[in-house]
C-alpha cells in the first residue's frame, strides 16, 4: 500500500510545455500562457483503477495461501513470506523511484514500470516452488513501486489545481480499498481460475493499465538536472534520526502491521467459513469510503489528538474482538478499518508537518514505513499461534503507537 502526499519538493515542480522557463525550470515572470492540464475524468479513472491493481498485489496472496500451500505441499503460515517479500521490494522501490521520477519524468518511468510489473507478475504465476515465488514476489514489488511516487506526482503537476484535491483523495482511497477489493476478488475467483490464473489476470491488468495511462498522460515536462542523482538522498539519514519523526514512523509501521496482520490472521487461523470471510473482508469497504468524506470535519480536531484518537479506537476494537471471541466481528472490523482509514492520513500529516523543508523525502520514508509494516504483518500474525492472542497483541501495539505519537508531540514542543 502507498499513501503519498500531494506535497512535492519545489525542485520537482517544472513548467508545462506552454510556459516559458528559465534555466532553473521556473516559469518566466512575463509568461501569460495557460498551462496545459490533463483531462480530468479519463485521468482519474485510469489512475484510480491502476492504484487498486498496484497496491492490491500486496494483499492478493492472503486468500490464496491455503491453495498455494496445497499445491506445493507446504504450510500456509510459511507462505506468508510471499506477502513479506513483496512488501520489502515495494518499500525499497519507493525510495529509489520517487527521486528517479523527478529526474527522468513521470510518464517515462511508468511506461517502463508497468510493463515490468506485468512480466514479473506473470512469472510469479509460473513459479515451480515457494523459493522461486519468493524471489519473484520481491521483484514484482520493486516493479510496481514505480507507480505510486510517479503517479501521485503527475496528478499534482498536471491536473487543474481546482480538481487536484479530489484526484489525490480518490487515488489515496483506492490504495486503501485495494486491501479489501483484491482479497474479495481473489477469494471469489480462485475456485474457477486457480491461484496461478489470478496472477495471470493481474499481469493482463498491468498491460491494460500501461495502455490506459499511455493514452491519457501528457508528455513529460522538460526537466533540468540539478546536481547528481545521489544528492537527492542526502536528507534521508537526518530524517531517520530525527527524534520527532522516528517516533511517528514507528507508529506508522505499527498501524500497518496491525492492518495486514488482522486479515492474515482471519485467513490462516480458520476463524470463519469461506462465505463468512468474504463478508468480513467486504465489511471494511464502507469505512474506507465514508471516513475520507468526513475528513474535512475531522481535520478541525488538533492533529495529535486526532491521530491518537484513531489509534486508540483501533486498539479498543481489536481488544473487544479478543474479549468477545469474535462476536459482532463484522461491526468491530468495520470500526477497526475506520480507525486505520483515519489514522493513516493523520500520520501522513504529522510527518509532513514535522519535516521542515524535506517534506518530499520525509513522505517517501512514510510510504517506506507503510511497506515495512505491511511486510512484517504476516509474520506477526503467524507468530502468535492463534487469533485471540493476536488480537490482544495488536491492540497493545496500537496503544504503544498512540504513546509514540504523544511522545513525538512532546518532543516537538521542546524543540520549539
pLDDT of amino acid 176:
78
Place of cell 513521470: 106
pLDDT value at 274 more than 90: no
- Assigned domain for 381 exists: yes
Residues 233-247 have pLDDT tens digits of: 677 788 888 889 999
pLDDT value at 120 more than 70: yes
- Asked if residue 334 and residue 195 are part of one domain, the reply reads no
**Residue 194, domain CATH:** 1.20.1250.20
- Asked if residue 195 and residue 281 are part of one domain, the reply reads no
pLDDT band for 345, please (50, 70, 90 cuts). confident
Model pTM above 0.75: no
Residue 225: all three cell numbers together? 538536472
Which residue would you say has higher pLDDT here, 284 or 315?
A: 315
pLDDT value at 78 more than 90: no
- Assigned domain for 128 exists: yes
Residue 121: name the closest of 42, 184, 205 by CA: 205
Which residue would you say has higher pLDDT here, 212 or 23?
A: 212
What lies within 8 Å, CB to CB, of 101 at 6+ separation is 109, 146, 149, 150, 153
- Please say which residue of 152, 186, 220 terminates a domain: 220
Tell me the average pLDDT across 76-101.
86
- Please say which residue of 186, 220, 254 terminates a domain: 220
Q: How far is CA 140 from CA 57, 316, 335, 351, 410, in A?
A: 9, 35, 32, 28, 40
- Assigned domain for 228 exists: no
Tell me the average pLDDT across 140-160.
86
Residue 188: all three cell numbers together? 471469489
Residues counted in the chain: 416
Q: Domain residues for 108?
A: 37-220
Contacts 24+ apart (CB under 8 A), 33-42: 36/218, 37/158, 37/159, 37/160, 38/154, 38/158, 38/159, 38/216, 38/217, 38/218, 39/216, 40/159, 40/160, 40/163, 40/167, 42/215, 42/216
- Asked if residue 162 and residue 71 are part of one domain, the reply reads yes
- Assigned domain for 14 exists: no
> Domain count of the chain?
2
pLDDT of amino acid 35:
56
Q: Within 13 Å and on the Cβ side, how many CA atoms surround 314? A: 33
d(CA 342, CA 338): 6
- Assigned domain for 166 exists: yes
- Judge contact between 393 and 258, C-beta under 8 A: no
Per the rule left: phi > 0, alpha: psi between -120 and 50, beta: everything else, 105 is left
- Asked if residue 174 and residue 129 are part of one domain, the reply reads yes
What lies within 8 Å, CB to CB, of 291 at 6+ separation is 298, 338, 341, 342
Per the prediction, the chain carries an average pLDDT of 83
- Asked if residue 239 and residue 298 are part of one domain, the reply reads yes
Q: How far from each other are the two terminal CA atoms of the chain, in whole angstroms? A: 33
- Assigned domain for 24 exists: no
pLDDT band for 195, please (50, 70, 90 cuts). very high
- Judge contact between 223 and 106, C-beta under 8 A: no
- Assigned domain for 371 exists: yes
- Environment class of 21 (CB within 10 Å of its CB; exposed 0-12, middle 13-18, buried 19+): middle
- Assigned domain for 351 exists: yes
pLDDT of amino acid 226:
62
> Would you call 21 helix, strand, or coil by DSSP?
strand
pLDDT band for 215, please (50, 70, 90 cuts). very high
d(CA 61, CA 90): 15
- Judge contact between 348 and 366, C-beta under 8 A: yes
φ, ψ at 27 (rounded to 5°) = -55, 140
- Asked if residue 263 and residue 201 are part of one domain, the reply reads no
Tell me the average pLDDT across 249-254.
94
- Judge contact between 143 and 90, C-beta under 8 A: no
pLDDT band for 357, please (50, 70, 90 cuts). low
Q: Of 82-91, 115-124, 373-382, which has the strongest mean pLDDT?
A: 115-124
Amino acid at each position: 500500500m502507498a499513501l503519498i502526499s500531494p506535497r512535492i519538493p519545489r525542485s520537482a515542480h517544472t513548467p508545462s510545455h506552454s510556459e516559458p522557463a528559465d534555466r532553473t525550470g521556473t516559469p518566466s515572470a512575463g509568461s501569460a500562457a495557460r498551462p496545459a492540464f490533463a483531462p480530468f475524468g479519463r485521468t482519474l479513472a485510469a489512475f484510480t483503477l491502476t492504484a487498486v491493481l498496484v497496491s492490491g498485489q500486496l494483499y492478493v496472496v492472503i486468500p490464496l495461501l491455503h491453495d498455494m500451500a496445497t499445491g506445493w505441499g507446504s504450510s500456509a503460515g510459511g507462505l506468508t513470506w510471499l506477502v513479506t517479500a513483496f512488501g520489502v521490494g515495494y518499500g525499497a522501490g519507493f525510495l529509489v523511484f520517487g527521486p528517479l521520477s523527478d529526474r527522468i519524468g513521470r510518464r517515462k518511468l511508468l511506461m517502463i514500470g508497468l510493463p515490468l510489473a506485468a512480466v514479473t507478475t506473470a512469472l510469479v504465476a509460473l513459479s515451480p516452488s515457494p523459493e522461486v515465488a519468493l524471489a519473484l514476489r520481491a521483484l514484482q514489488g520493486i516493479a510496481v513501486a514505480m507507480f505510486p511516487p510517479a503517479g501521485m506526482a503527475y496528478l499534482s503537476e498536471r491536473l487543474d489545481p481546482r480538481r487536484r484535491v479530489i484526484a489525490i483523495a480518490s487515488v489515496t482511497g483506492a490504495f486503501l480499498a485495494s486491501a479489501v477489493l483484491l482479497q474479495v476478488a481473489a477469494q471469489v475467483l480462485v475456485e474457477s481460475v486457480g491461484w496461478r490464473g489470478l496472477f495471470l489476470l493481474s499481469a493482463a491488468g498491468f498491460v491494460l493499465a500501461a495502455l490506459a495511462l499511455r493514452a491519457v498522460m501528457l508528455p513529460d515536462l522538460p526537466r533540468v538536472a540539478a546536481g547528481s542523482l545521489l544528492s537527492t538522498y542526502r536528507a534521508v539519514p537526518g530524517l531517520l534520526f530525527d527524534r520527532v519523526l522516528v517516533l511517528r514512523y514507528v507508529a506508522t509501521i505499527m498501524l500497518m502491521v496491525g492492518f495486514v496482520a488482522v486479515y492474515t490472521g482471519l485467513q490462516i487461523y480458520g476463524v470463519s467459513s469461506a462465505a463468512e470471510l468474504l463478508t468480513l473482508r467486504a465489511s471494511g469497504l464502507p469505512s474506507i469510503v465514508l471516513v475520507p468524506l468526513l475528513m474535512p470535519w475531522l481535520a478541525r480536531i488538533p492533529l495529535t489528538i486526532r491521530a491518537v484518537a484513531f489509534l486508540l479506537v483501533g486498539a479498543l476494537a481489536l481488544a473487544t474482538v479478543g474479549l468477545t471471541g469474535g462476536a459482532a466481528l463484522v461491526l468491530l472490523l468495520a470500526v477497526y478499518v475506520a480507525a486505520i482509514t483515519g489514522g493513516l492520513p493523520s500520520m501522513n500529516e504529522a510527518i509532513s508537518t514535522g519535516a521542515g523543508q524535506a517534506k518530499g523525502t520525509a513522505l517517501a520514508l512514510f510510504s517506506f514505513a507503510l511497506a515495512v509494516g505491511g511486510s512484517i504483518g504476516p509474520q506477526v500474525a503467524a507468530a502468535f499461534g492463534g487469533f485471540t492472542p493476536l488480537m490482544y497483541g495488536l491492540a497493545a501495539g496500537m496503544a504503544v503507537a498512540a504513546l509514540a505519537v504523544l511522545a513525538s508531540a512532546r518532543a516537538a514542543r521542546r524543540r520549539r
